[in-house]
């Protein structure tokens, strides 16, 4: 229980500390303030994203070893670092495109697309950090209760996978050939490893979406 309280509490405090950076996120820019955000933020999220508390308090039947807590906190720390750093780099670029990233002048495509920091490793590394934190929130429940306590992680995985490809489609439409160039430079979506292609295949299977680069290549052949 302590592991969940510490990580969830820290995440909430972080939100308020970096509140101004929410203005450059997908939720604010693309979803806008409508039914989905109102219903999601006031009804769906409060009653589903914290379902772990039910299993940790009402149905608690066993204690996990301290090593489990160490793994959870380490995973959360890694996820938070990726999440906060990547979002900060994005926000920093939009506010001051010339500001140094990791002590170096940022690499930019035509002054529009950032290719430095985490944005040079994957196109949606901020989602990767978010998913690692979500998994860390669920870990205190262990495996005794089955997949139910992991609803938050499962749902968020599907949501962000779909959102990543919606974002790619919008960027392809907005930037055209420049986005195709970026996809060639940064071919990974979530993780800078070859098995990232399995996530891309999952997106195609679940949502009927494809990598923008491969989609444009296909159009050229017709």
Going by the DSSP 8-state scheme, the letter that residue 101 receives in this structure is B
Question: What is the pTM (predicted TM-score) of this model?
Answer: 0.79
| Residue 111: predicted pLDDT | 86
Query: What integer pLDDT is reported at residue 28 of this predicted model?
Result: 64
What is the pLDDT averaged over residues 100-104? 86
Q: How far apart are CA 166 and CA 189, in angstroms?
A: 12
Question: Confidence band (pLDDT; 50, 70, 90) for 97?
Answer: confident
pLDDT of amino acid 219: 46
Please list the helix, strand and coil fractions of the chain in percent, rounded to the nearest 5, in that order.
70, 5, 25
Higher-scoring residue by pLDDT: 222, 164: 164
pLDDT range class, residue 127, cuts 50, 70, 90:
very high
Nearest Cα neighbor of 177 from 113, 89, 120, 93 is 113
Bigger pLDDT: 152 vs 216: 152
pLDDT score, position 222: 43
Q: What is the pLDDT of residue 159?
A: 87
- With beta carbons less than 8 A apart as the criterion, state whether 191 and 151 touch: no
Span 29-78, pLDDT tens digits? 666 677 777 787 788 878 887 888 777 777 666 677 788 888 889 999 99
Mean pLDDT of the chain, nearest integer: 80
User: Which range (12-21, 173-182, 213-222) has the least confidence?
Assistant: 213-222
Q: What's residue 220's pLDDT? A: 47
pLDDT at 210 over 60: no
Per-position b or e across 84-122, b if 16+ CB within 10 A of its CB: bbbbbbbbbbeeeeeeebeeeebeeeeeebbebbbbbbb
Q: Give the per-residue pLDDT at 217.
A: 47
More confidently predicted of 50 and 125 = 125
What's the CA gap between 56 and 166, in Å, rounded? Answer: 35
Of 11-15, 162-166, 193-197, minimum mean pLDDT range: 193-197
């Amino acid at each position: 229980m302590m592991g969940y309280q510490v990580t969830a509490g820290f995440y909430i405090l972080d939100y308020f500390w970096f509140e101004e950076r929410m203005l450059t996120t997908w939720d604010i820019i693309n979803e806008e303030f409508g039914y989905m955000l109102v219903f999601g933020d006031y009804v769906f999220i409060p009653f589903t994203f914290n379902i772990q508390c039910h299993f940790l308090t009402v149905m608690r039947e066993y204690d996990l070893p301290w090593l489990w807590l160490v793994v959870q906190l380490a995973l959360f720390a890694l996820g938070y670092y990726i999440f906060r750093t990547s979002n900060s780099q994005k926000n920093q670029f939009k506010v001051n495109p010339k500001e140094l990233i990791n002590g170096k002048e940022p690499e930019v495509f035509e002054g529009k697309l950032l290719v430095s920091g985490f944005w040079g490793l994957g196109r949606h590394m901020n989602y990767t950090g978010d998913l690692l934190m979500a998994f860390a929130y669920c870990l205190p429940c262990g495996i005794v209760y089955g997949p139910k306590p992991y609803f938050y992680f499962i749902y968020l995985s599907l949501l962000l996978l779909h959102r990543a490809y919606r974002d790619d489609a919008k960027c392809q439409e907005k930037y055209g050939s420049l986005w195709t160039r970026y996809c060639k430079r940064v071919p990974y979506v979530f993780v800078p490893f070859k098995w990232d292609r399995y996530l891309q295949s999952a997106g195609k299977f679940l949502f009927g979406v494809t990598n923008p680069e491969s989609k444009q290549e296909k159009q050229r052949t017709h």
